[in-house]
């Protein structure tokens, strides 16, 4: 009787090719970097004086499209601000990892706490569409929301975090983007303080314009960054 011995298969397992998306990620990051600063700067051009909620509702009612544009641009800015800072941090972390981590943490806390701003902008739009005799109640509701502790805390965290976060990120980006970019990000914050102190909107538009310039410098640098410096390649 003869035994038959089967030899082990010499067929090697197939290797699945993983698609490298780093170039796509860089292009998407560059586009996202352009959005929040521009959207925020444009939104300041449509702002209505809301120091008196009742009068503001009448002003918005006279031109509701203006308030809708403000609310839409504000929503877009808030939605894309965190991804933009994440992309900027990816550029800065190789030179200044600790400062970048701190700057990114401050910005994340600031803009993830910014829910009150677009909510109030939307409330003004909704209140302006009520009949005139009902706008007193809408104004009272808006004032009550402003005085609510949670809303005030959210706004305070956003304002302080925005000031500190942009300055820290600007310092972290030194050497990673052109000088005009990180200097613009730092200088934008004193202009924000000036706009807040004077209660005017043109300086705020200029401040966000400087932020947009800084992010644009980041976008150009991202596009010029080799894939291997942007991220590790995928494993097969």
Q: Are 172 and 147 in contact (CB under 8 A)?
A: no
Say which DSSP state 190 is in: H
Write down the pLDDT at residue 1: 46
Say which DSSP state 175 is in: T
Q: pTM to 2 decimals?
A: 0.85
Joined together, the tokens standing for residue 162 give: 């925005």
Joined together, the tokens standing for residue 160 give: 């302080």
The helix (run of H) or strand (run of E) holding residue 155 is helix 149-172
d(CA 232, CA 141): 51
Write down the pLDDT at residue 148: 75
Write down the pLDDT at residue 195: 76
Write down the pLDDT at residue 150: 81
31-34 long-range contacts, Cβ below 8 Å, gap at least 24?
A: 31/219, 32/80, 32/83, 32/84, 32/87, 33/84, 33/87, 33/88, 33/215, 33/216, 33/218, 33/219, 33/222, 34/212, 34/215, 34/216, 34/219
Write down the pLDDT at residue 184: 95
Q: What is 25-90 written as a DSSP string?
A: HHHHHHHHHHHHHHHHHHHHTT----SSHHHHHHHHHH-HHHHHHHHHHHHHHHHHHHHHHHHHHH
Write down the pLDDT at residue 222: 96
Name every residue whose Cβ is closer than 8 Å to that of residue 68 and which is 6 or more positions away in sequence: 125
Write down the pLDDT at residue 104: 95
d(CA 235, CA 201): 50
Per residue of the chain (236 residues), what is the pLDDT tens digit? Answer: 455 555 555 555 556 677 888 899 999 999 999 999 999 999 988 988 877 888 989 999 989 999 999 999 999 999 999 999 999 999 999 899 999 999 999 999 999 988 888 888 889 999 999 898 888 998 998 888 877 778 888 888 998 999 999 999 999 999 999 999 999 999 999 998 887 777 666 688 889 999 999 999 999 999 999 988 888 888 76
If we measure between CA atoms, which residue out of 233, 234, 211, 225 comes closest to residue 34? 211
Question: Which phi and psi (to 5°) does residue 177 adopt?
Answer: -130, 165
The helix (run of H) or strand (run of E) holding residue 180 is helix 179-198
């Amino acid at each position: 009787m003869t035994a038959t011995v089967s030899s082990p298969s010499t067929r090697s397992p197939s290797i699945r090719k993983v698609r490298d998306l780093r170039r796509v990620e860089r292009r998407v990051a560059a586009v996202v970097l352009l959005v929040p600063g521009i959207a925020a700067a444009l939104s300041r051009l449509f702002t209505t004086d809301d120091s008196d909620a009742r009068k503001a509702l009448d002003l918005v009612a006279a031109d509701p499209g203006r308030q809708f544009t403000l609310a839409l641009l504000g929503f877009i800015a808030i939605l894309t601000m965190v991804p933009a800072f994440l992309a900027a941090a990816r550029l800065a972390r190789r030179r200044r990892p600790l400062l970048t981590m701190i700057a990114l943490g401050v910005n994340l806390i600031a803009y993830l706490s910014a829910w009150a701003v677009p909510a109030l902008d939307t409330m003004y739009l909704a209140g302006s569409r009520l009949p005139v005799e009902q706008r007193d109640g809408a104004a009272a509701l808006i004032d009550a929301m402003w005085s609510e502790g949670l809303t005030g805390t959210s706004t305070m965290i956003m304002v302080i975090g925005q000031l500190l976060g942009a300055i820290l990120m600007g310092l972290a980006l030194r050497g990673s983007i052109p000088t005009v970019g990180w200097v613009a990000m730092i200088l934008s914050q004193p202009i924000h303080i000036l706009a807040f102190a004077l209660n005017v909107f043109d300086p705020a538009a200029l401040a966000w314009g400087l932020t947009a310039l800084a992010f644009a410098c980041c976008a150009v640098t991202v596009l010029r960054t080799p894939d291997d410096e942007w991220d590790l390649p995928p494993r097969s």
